Structure 1
Amino acid sequence: MAFIIAAISLAGAIALLLWGTRMVQTGVQRAFGPRLRVVLGRALDNRVKAFLAGIGVTAALQSSTATGFMVAGFAAGGVVAAVPALAVMLGANLGTTLIVQLLSFDVAFLSPLLVLAGFLMFRRDPASVAHDLGRAAIGLGLMLLALHQLMELMAPLETSPALRQLLELVSVVPLLDVLLAAVLTWATHSSVAVVLLTMSLAGHGILPTEAAFAMVLGANLGSAVNPLLEGTRRDDPAARRVPVGNLLNRVVGLAIALPLLPWIAQWAGAGEPARAVALFHTGFNLVLAAAFLPLLTPYAALLRRWLPERPAAADPARPIYLDPAAQRVPGVALGAAAREALRLADILEELLGAARDTLGARRPPTGSKALDEALGRLAQAIRAWLAALDTEALSEADHRRMREIVTFVTQLDQAGSVARRILLPHAAALWKDGHPVDEAGVDELRALLDRLTGNLRAAASLFMTEDPRAARMLAEEKTAFRQLEEASTRTHLERLRGGAAEAVGASALHLDLLRDIKQINSHLVAAAAYPVLERVGALLPSRVVEPDRA
């Protein structure tokens, strides 16, 4: 019974350590995520600047994986070269060691102060930076508390003969220590937690110095395996260059350091064991960075040769920017979804072009059904991508942007359905059933479709810029199209009174086409203009006049 209670207490302390690490990461992401991404983006033109930015950003986020996801977002489509991206990862690996260095000192007494300060800050306005920093402070306090609990729980284990015999058996084979730490890091998604656990074991004399160093090597290996297995698009070799490159330099470093561990442990093990583990962790990453940083140019060329770019598939419904690597970083994930949403506008523009061509032909163009289906499948993929995001890591601004993306995607999907299922058949019907074709009316419809295409492009631009002035201009187009429909309706009624049956039939089709175009334009306004106007308080809740104002 005592063993079960001890095991549960140990597991709880480790879980508290992991949860504290997560709170620090999500708190910093919410507070400074976009700014950190800007800093990282500006540094990607030089390997030294990229290396330093990787250290700083990762030290703040406490996750080299999160930094790697940001780099993957910048590297999508070949915008960022492989050399600075790999330099960022070298810096990120070194950045994760800074928190380990800090926590290697006895700072557990700061835990209550951090939790208290974090709680007071967390009670501030949820949209404020102080609220998010409070979350990070609570997380750091929980990490210190968890480490203190681990030390207390492991103190009695120093005299446990069974545990010492087990660890002695494990210590005989350093490779087994490496694999054990790598699996733990992969399972917990945190090399920081595994290294801190190793420090605690070594500090209590439960784990020999050489075995502790081997576990540090395993933690470094496991942190590089995670992005490769879970983060990249496996069907795109080029998208795996950065994680594969990062993993290979870990493997090279491990292969060199593992045979030297007895000498390294003998040289570094004279001092305090926990400090020795922290220093070895930092030293390992520092030596790897110094060795690989000058060689990144030929190294990147080798990765490009091994992992060449695959030609893009012709299927327009296949997502291009929805890389799973980006899902854990809100700023990157929402940016990827927005870029993918713009492809919906391109597909819809092709459908409108098909409708315009149909006005000058006697049969509808082929391929319109495939375009509509592609638009629907791509819209569904974007919505599913957004639904899979971790909502806890999203700030209020991130939630607002996600709602805007969902609105834009849904409205364009509906506009595409109107274009293919209603507009195109009506356009083709002009040439059927012997209706006389009014060339002036057809030219008017072509001009309206051109105007609608211009509104579509304006909606796509507005979706990215969120400019209130452009939103007002786009919203005014809804009034213009309504006035055109009213004018055409009056003309149609006049023809009905005149009794010309053939002219009435053509006029009815003309009016149907106008309504189709107006409906699509309404979807465009709702997709891009209304969210911006609502945010700035310039959108009325209803067009109906209040009874007391009538």
Structure 2
Amino acid sequence: MSGFDLLIKIAGGVALLLWATRMVRTGVMRTYGSQLRRFLGSATKNTVSSFGMGIGMAGILQSSTATALLTVAFASKGLIAIAPALAVMLGADVGSTLVVQVLSLDVSWLSPVLILIGLIAFTTRPTMTLRHLGRVFIGLGLMLLSLKLVVAASEPMRDSETLQNILVPLSQEPVIAVILAALITWITHSSVAMVLLIMSLTVAGVVPMALGFTLVLGANVGAGIVPFALTMGETPVGRRIPLGNLLFRICGVLLILPFMGMVTPYISEISGGDLGRQIANFHTAFNIVLALVFLPFIGVMTRLMERVLPDRPGEANDLKPKYLDETVINTPTVAVACATRELLRLADVVESMLGKVIKVFETNDPNLLTEVSKLDDQVDELHEAIKLYLTQVSKNKLNQEDSARCVELIAFTTNLEHISDIIDKNLLEIANQKIKKRLEFSEQGWKELVELHQMALDQMQLAMTAFVSGDVDIARQLIAGKEKFRAMEQAGGDKHLARLREGRIESIESSALHIDMIRDLKRINSHLTSVAYPILDASGELHESRLRVRPHAERHSVEVSN
């Protein structure tokens, strides 16, 4: 077998291992993602529970990186402090080794069984949960199969003089071996896959045991680099967690590297001579010792990270409310004014989302799509803060005016949050489908959508003005705009149907997207015009019902009164 064929087979086995790991992680997240997020938020009250939560999360997700990204997201929103977040990461380092422990056992016979079970669950699809669990089983089966392929493909390398000439000097340069393994782990984005690969090559006799241990250390450093690199764009609060964890890993490697000669015999004795188990046990032992040594120093690392990555002025609190003054809660009139200012800030974010979403459709830019989607997080944060603030305010004795204003504030805040969700979960999903499928609207259809979108933007500005001023004339304009929007929507629907009858290719291909986009813009307009009704009702400008009273209903009413 030529060297090229050998490398292709090994590369194929490694690629299958990486893909299988991704399948398992994706399946678990789609099945239990919301529960995992909830548990992460509730089980991080102290260092011990946070550490245990990290073990469980990484063991289930088969990835310390996935756990790190979830933790960073919580920390960026202020839902978890830096100290317990670092404890979660130390637990995740231990939890990710459990996967390696299980796969180091001789369970290759399980591979076809797991793939068969997974395929049945995935294809029959009785429920979406079973479908995603089927993905998990298929992924586990493919992981076992890929390890078998790598071991089989590596067998001829055992007697390769060229490889020995490379590995022998590398064994004498542990620092270079650590750096090399760290870089490969960073490139593959999976420490689990890297350690399993090292285990396979060691079992095949390609990599000496001492070098295998050193490469495992490098894989652990690389596992810390991955989340650090992925969170470079986060706020300083979010970046402190992966950086602190990376420093823990580097310090641990530097402390143990000089004593590797003393550690190797103990690991061999514990593992009973099984080469694969020795790699797995060393990986687990290193991370357990790392946690035991550094858990007491989490406070020190937290203070260090706050100095290394201080909050940047004007950026750290982008998601935080600016005007909700807790000291004036017992003064309802002032507190309501504060809540109104914060609501206008929320409205500005939603207006920005609405303005940018049409650019996503126009440019097909996935980066802009991601940027708009991130604004929904800020909307959710502000919406929740305003609601809680007004709830506290309402505990006071309010006069009729302040009480009514609190209700209006909560209602408008909720409507704005619904609009943000429509943009994030509906319009951006439509845009994503347009980008993926490379679809285009017809020239006339696109013009109609732009006009409807501009109408929605105009209604947004009117709604904000009406809410602040309480002006009856502006409220009437808002209702008139709703009627105009409805007429434009109906006319646009008729024109779109006419284009479909003419057999225009662009209209046929993008028909579903076109109709869904109109529907969502209409929903946004409805949420905006709801601002006008309390204003008009208070001024006596609304009928009690828009339904006409039937003649027989009038007679019935008379008979009852008699």
If the length of structure 2 is used for normalisation, what is the TM-score? 0.63
Look up the match of 1:385: 370
Q: 1:307 to 1:204 in 2, by over 3 A?
A: same
Name the CA distance, whole Å, in 1 between partners of 2:7 and 2:429: 49
How many angstroms does 1:482 deviate by?
Answer: 5.3
Amino acid at match of 1:21: T
Whole-Å Cα distance in 2 between the matches of residues 228 and 212 of structure 1?
Answer: 25
- Could you say what secondary structure the match of 1:269 adopts? helix
Aligned partners of 1:60 and 1:225: how far apart in 2? 21
Cα distance, 1:350 vs structure 2: 5.8
1:282 shift after superposition: 0.3
Quote the residue 2:188 is aligned against.
Answer: 188
Given candidates 414, 422, 426, the residue that maps to 1:404 is 426
Counterpart of 1:525 in structure 2 is 526
Change (3 A) 1:297 1:172: same
Query: CA 1:220–1:380 in structure 2 vs 1: closer, same or farther (change >3 Å)?
Result: farther
User: Quick one: which amino acid aligns to residue 12 of structure 1?
Assistant: G
Aligned residue pairs, count = 402
Aligned twin of 1:240:
239
Once the two structures are aligned, what percentage of the paired residues are identical?
A: 38
SS at match of 1:108: coil
Aligned CA distance change for structure 1 residues 150 and 63 (closer, same or farther; 3 Å): same
SS of equivalent to 1:80: coil
The 8 Å contact of residues 357 and 372 in structure 2, kept in 1 or not, is answered as no
Contact 1:348 1:416 in 2 (8 A): no
Aligned residue for 1:367?
none
Give the counterpart letter for 1:376 in structure 2. G
1:69 and 1:228 map into 2 onto residues whose CA distance is 9
* 2:296 aligned partner: 294
Partner of 1:277: 279
The CA deviation string for residues 24-59 of structure 1, in whole angstroms up to 9 with x for no partner, is 111111111111111111112122111111111111
Cα separation, partners in 2 of 1:527 and 1:98, compared to 1, 3 Å: farther
Residue pair 1:372, 1:417 contacting (<8 A) in 2 also: yes
- Partner letter of residue 244 of structure 1? L
Is the CA contact 2:357–2:369 (under 8 Å) kept in the aligned structure 1? no
CA shift, 1:6, in A, is 1.4
Letter in 1 for 2:58: T
Q: Could you say if the C-alpha distance between residues 252 and 400 of structure 1 is closer, same or farther in structure 2, counting changes exceeding 3 Å?
A: same
Question: In structure 2, what is the equivalent of residue 51 of structure 1?
Answer: 51
Secondary structure of residue in 2 paired with 1:115: helix
For the 8 Å contact 1:344–1:378, the answer to whether it is kept is no
Give 1:238 shift.
2.6
1:456 corresponds in structure 2 to none
Q: Distance in 2 between matches of 1:175 and 1:5?
A: 31
SS of the equivalent of 2:109 reads helix
Are 2:213 and 1:213 equivalent residues in the alignment? yes
Deviations 1:121-168 (A, max 9, x none): 101337521110100100110010111111111222222222222211
5+ long unaligned stretches in structure 2: 321-340, 361-366, 375-420, 432-448, 488-520, 531-562
Q: State the Cα RMSD in Å.
A: 4.2
> Of residues 472, 475, 490 in structure 2, which corresponds to 1:444?
472
Distance 2:529 2:28 in 1: 30
- Give the equivalent residue in structure 2 for 1:226: 226
Partner amino acid, structure 2, of 1:209: M
- After superposition, the Cα gap between the structure-2 partners of 1:274 and 1:226, relative to the gap in structure 1 and judged at 3 Å, is same
**Counterpart amino acid of residue 168 in structure 1:** V
2:553 corresponds to which residue? none
Deviation at 1:109, TM superposition (A): 0.6
Q: Which residue matches 1:199?
A: 199
**Distance in 2 separating the partners of 1:56 and 1:25:** 14
Q: Retained in 2: the 8 A contact 1:59–1:95?
A: yes
Question: Which residue of structure 1 lines up, in the alignment, with residue 513 of structure 2?
Answer: none
Q: Which residue of 1 aligns with 2:457?
A: 417
Q: 1:402 to 1:131 in 2, by over 3 A?
A: farther
- Secondary structure in 2 aligned to 1:149? helix
Could you tell me whether the CA contact under 8 Å between 1:212 and 1:277 is conserved in 2? yes
Deviation, 1:72, is 1.3
Mapped to 2, the partners of 1:96 and 1:423 lie a distance apart of 51
Alpha-carbon spacing, 1:402–1:176, altered in 2? closer, same or farther (3 Å) = same
The TM-score with structure 1 as length reference comes to: 0.64
Q: CA 1:408–1:419 in structure 2 vs 1: closer, same or farther (change >3 Å)? A: farther
Indicate conservation of the 8 Å contact 2:118/2:137, yes or no.
Answer: yes
